[in-house]
Chains A and B, each alone.
Chain A
Amino acid sequence: MMTKQPLISFKNVSKIYNNGTVGLKKVNLDIFQGEFVVIVGLSGAGKSTLLRTINKMHNITDGDITINGESITPLKGKKLCKLRSCIGMIFQNFNLVKRSSVLRNVLIGRVGYYPTWKSVLGIFSPEDKKKAATALQRVNLAEKIYARADELSGGQQQRVAIARVFMQNPKIILADEPVASLDPLTTNAIMDDLKNLNREFKMTVIVNLHSVPLALKYADRIIGLRAGELVYDKTITEVSEQDFKTIYQEEGAIR
């Protein structure tokens, strides 16, 4: 019988950093189209590393990662840019260009789709400008379109980052602790924005989170990492709060 093909597939993936630190250890993982996956684990467990291997911001040292059945390991140059342009990424520190306008920051999500000379001259199509306005409306920042990014609060900056990702029209969204530097109220707004992209556009969302309650509230599926190893993987209906004790156990306590 044919099983559904996973969108992203990790096959025995290991990542050892140049300095010898183990980032990931023999990770096997299938993620399917349209899932909202939350990755939890202690700080240093390898969550960021895992996320960044999917868009090759980090290269793996062993194993293979496929997206839609195609290995991404050999991708380089233009092909790599093409892959990245359809994977959105959200960061803990928003990573906006602070001195540029909100509009320009949102359009940045589109540069991967333009020839170099056009983007460099700032020639964006009318449709893309319209789409940028729509993206900002979605996150309730329509009136800030010409503001400078550093005039916005942290929560607003993260929403601009979400608009930037929306511009990419991504199949996959990777969010690395998107709410770690935000207050609880803004946290829910940001998580809702991500959930909406997941529901409305069937975008596959993978989020690293520190907070278990937040993971329980938003995830379809929770994955646990400990010291680079995948130690937990359950859909939200199977999860019990007890489980988190093992994920958050100190490394020393297991041995």
Chain B
Amino acid sequence: MNEIPKRTIIQKYHVRGILITVILSLLLIFSSIMTGVDWSEFFSNLGQFFALLGRMANPDWQYLNVVVQPIIETIQMALLGTTIGTAVAIPFAFLAARNLVKSLLVRGVTRFVLNLVRTLPDLLLAALFVAIVGIGPTAGVWTLAIFSFGMISKLFYETVETIEKGPIEALRAAGANKIQIIVFAVIPQVINNFISYFLYTFEINVRASTVLGYLGAGGIGVFLQRSLSSFRYDQTAVIIIAILIVVVIIDSLSNTLRERLL
């Protein structure tokens, strides 16, 4: 008797998979109806879209001189925001990791704070900081710092939880304290992942900061908004091209670095 065990009817006809697909499709259809997305409107407006594209087809290259400075500011905002967010995230990540902190209370409170921070949308943060510190790049930096903090802390503690526990045991048995355990046994195992996630978050922040400027949080976004509202689509075109180039360069740089690391 060497038969393959029979599949149940549910397994045989992939009932679960089909059911999930159907439910998801229905949800999609209902939500598009309920939010009133009008597909015919979308397609009839395509003409307008192409008209806009036509007006952007003659970029005002002179404007490039004006754009360079805010683009650099955008990158600086992203770098600063990511760095601040990461620096604060590191201790939180260690406190939230199951394999380092035995106390359910400490871990629970830490994770609650982290989850709370992650639920804040970055645009809301930007609006908030513009209101607090005023229009300018400072608001952008704080927004990106908090956004990075939420993202990095989660990525980091999940990484910490995947490490080998053998070295931690060895350090503990040799009389090392918590900090020594982290420095000698944990960090060597996670440092490459940490750097990789830092670069990834920086990448996302460069993209995000172009939009944040829209709310007055500094950087190139301010110029994007200005050109759009004054119907200078020739300038808009330059800004978009400049952003694209910068994003592509930073993406490929960070991708190359990350591939080397892992």
Contact = CB atoms under 8 A, between A and B. Distances in A.
Contact of A119 (B164, B166, B170, B183): B183
Interface string B169-209: 11111111101100111001100000000000000000000
B54 interface: no
Contact-size category for B: 10 to 19
A112 B175 contact: yes
A240 B183 CA distance: 49
B183 to A, nearest CB: 5
A84 B175 contact: yes
A219 B169 CA distance: 26
Nearest to A81: B175
Contacts of B185: 97, 108
B91 interface: no
A97 B175 contact: no
B170 A108 contact: yes
Main secondary structure of the interface of B (DSSP, over half): helix
Contact of B171 (A80, A111, A113): A111
Interface stretch (A86-94, A126-134, A220-228): A86-94
A164 B174 contact: yes
Contact-size category for A: 20 to 34
B180 A84 contact: no
A111 B166 contact: no
Contact of B167 (A57, A89, A97): A97
Nearest to B165: A95
A55 B170 CA distance: 12
A97 B188 contact: yes
Contacts of A97: 167, 184-185, 188-189
A116 interface: yes
B166 A99 contact: no
A82 interface: yes
Contacts of A82: 175
Contact of B176 (A93, A96, A99, A112): A112
Contacts of B173: 55, 57, 84, 87, 89, 174
Interface of B: 164, 166-167, 169-177, 179-180, 183-185, 188-189
14 contacts: A55-B173, A91-B166, A94-B166, A95-B167, A97-B189, A108-B185, A111-B184, A112-B180, A113-B175, A119-B180, A119-B184, A120-B179, A120-B183, A161-B170
Given A89-B173, A108-B171, A111-B171, 8 more contacts: A80-B175, A84-B172, A87-B173, A89-B170, A96-B170, A100-B184, A108-B174, A108-B176
